[in-house]
Amino acid sequence: MENDALLKEVMSKAQKWLDGNYDEDTKNEIRRMMTAEDKTELIEAFYKDLEFGTGGLRGIMGVGTNRMNIYTVGAATQGLSNYLKAQFSDLPQISVVIGHDCRNNSRRFAEISANIFSANGIKVYLFENLRPTPETSFAIRYLGCQSGIIITASHNPKEYNGYKAYWNDGAQMVSPHDVNVIAEVNKITRVEDIKFEGNPELIEIIGEKIDKAFIDAIKTLSLSPEAIRRHSDLKIVYTPLHGTGITLIPRALEEYGFKNIIHVPEQDVISGNFPTVVSPNPEEPAAMEMAVKKAKEVDADIVMASDPDADRMGIAVKNDKGEWILVNGNQTALLFVYYLIRRWKELGKLTGNEYVVKTIVTTELIKNIADRNAVECYDCYTGFKWIASVIRENEGKKVYIGGGEESYGFLPEDFVRDKDAVSCCALMAEITAWAKDQGKSLFELLQDIYLEYGYGKEKGISIVKKGKSGADEIQEMMRNFRNHPPKEIAGSKVVVIKDFQTLKMRNLKTNEESPLNMPATSNVLQFFTEEGTKISVRPSGTEPKIKFYIEVRGEMKSRADFDKAETEALKKIDAVRASLGI
């Protein structure tokens, strides 16, 4: 669209807000943008509508159709209300849970959503103040609700907020509910369609009772209470990165039996401005700097951080040279799966009917551990709604041990249906105590897993291609990989190709084709080589990126081989990148 035509359309949309039934503060802000010499801000606010996607809403806060504000949040809540009323028309009372994180406007959006649900005759359980995302999932199940929402933008920068919707099992929605709710939200085209006047009688404030039930449930996950008793003074540095983790994670650690939780006081401050970090994301080394500094001061055993809505956890440990290093998401998932399966086995809990779940881009070493212990391993798409979907399908038939993904999310329980940093922090502290009980550090435990089950290293690479031309380029790259797949990668023959868009797997050795058993198609390609390298390629669904996930295998015969294995793996990853031209 030409600039003049775009500006004309934007001005027309902005004028509708000026003429409509919007509040005066909103209108004043629109007038300011419309009269500004530079119209960039106005264009960004109105050039498109903020989409309610399969994960809900996420965007920059501000006025306009392409921003998170009371009207876009209101339309989402009204659409969800309409769908719930149609789906559960036989119930005498439909109910929902509302939670929110530490972000600016989160409480306001939560209260407005509560008013809209209640105005539609829906009972609302609203948390008294900020709480971890997994607790909302827990509360939906615990209170027997039909749905729930959490106001959060996870680990996005401070300008953002978001709106995540759940179904009655406490999981994010999958088909058909996800697309059906989107359709209902898209029908809300006028501000008059949104019922903003709440019914206070239908809004109940919740807090401590749910907190206690949630913590009590998490305590049932403990598998090594004796080790905790012996190492109750374990030095744990924890930071919530200004977010919701501060409300429950120190308490969960204490109730597990840990007495020496060391805080980073500056980051205990609840703030949607995240004053001590550029990005409140535990994947980013910079976000962990203050906690690692504190760990050095006190000679800690482990560093743990949760993101602002406390669904993801990052950890740092001391290596064999006494240096603090960050443990990546694949390694964290590996530690959880190894520990859970081993302790279940030692405690006689494995009956042959258990399973774990990982996403298709997560390390294959998890499958190695599961296979060798006769535990079934499910592969699913990226995103915890798919892990929750596997749990739902197996409910009452098989026993869930745990599931995770490479992007720092894990779930060691089925009474929550989203990733959970509260239970993960408690359990990771227990794993540290259990390892110490055997005279090992967490780093040495990770090395021992590699020794027993094989060494692997993973690297994620994102290539940014902005604008329409960038989107076209990404499509062309995917088309080229699909139509002209590599015959070898880094000198190793490609032996298996999985195409999740056609749901077909080709074995190039036997030339056989077989179906991939997945619940839906997805634009993801995977290449497996003779020496065990795995490459996954997919366009990002939310950003102008094409993502490559590289996993290479190596050899370790003793802990002393670790550094050499790491060096060789990095060389192999460089060779893979050169082969693929990335």
Q: Annotated catalytic sites, by residue? A: 154
In DSSP terms, 4 is beta-bridged to none
3-state helix/strand/coil string of 408-440:
CEEECCCCCCCCCHHHHHHHHHHHHHHHHHCCC
- Residue given tokens 């209300």 in the structure block: 81
* Angstrom distance (rounded) from CA 484 to CA 427: 45
Core vs surface per residue 218-246: b (16+ CB within 10 A) or e: beebbbbeebbeebeebbbbbbbbbbbbb
- Across the chain, how many H-helices and E-strands are there? 19, 23
| Whole-number Å distance between alpha carbons of 330 and 415 | 23
Cα distance between residue 316 and residue 386, in whole Å: 28
CA separation (Å) from 93 to 78, 84, 123, 128, 526?
17, 11, 7, 22, 47
- Alpha-carbon distance 114 to 99, whole Å? 10
Question: Phi then psi for 419, rounded to 5 degrees?
Answer: -60, 150
The span from the CA of 13 to the CA of 7, in Å, is 10
Question: Structure tokens of 296?
Answer: 């050095």
Quick check: helix, strand or coil at residue 551?
Answer: strand
- Report how far residue 533's alpha carbon sits from residue 551's, in angstroms, rounded to the nearest whole number: 6
On whether the CB atoms of residues 64 and 29 are closer than 8 A, the answer is: no
Residue 97: strand pairing partners: 125, 148
DSSP 302-339: EEEEE-TTSS-EEEEEE-TTS-EEEE-HHHHHHHHHHH
- The token pair at 479 is 């088309």
* DSSP symbols for 146-203: SEEEEE--TTS-TTEEEEEEE-TTSSB--TTHHHHHHHHHHT--SGGGS-----GGGE
Q: Are 497 and 536 in contact (CB under 8 A)?
A: no
Please report the sign of the dihedral spanned by the C-alpha atoms of residue 112, residue 55, residue 389, residue 309. negative
Strands laid side by side in the 57-60 sheet: 57-60, 160-166, 147-151, 95-100, 123-127, 203-206
Radius of gyration of the chain (CA): 25
Amino acid at 170: G
CA–CA distance, 409 with 384 (Å, rounded to integer): 8
- Answer for the pair 394, 355: CB distance below 8 angstroms, yes or no: yes
Strands 512-515 and 504-507, by their bridges, are antiparallel
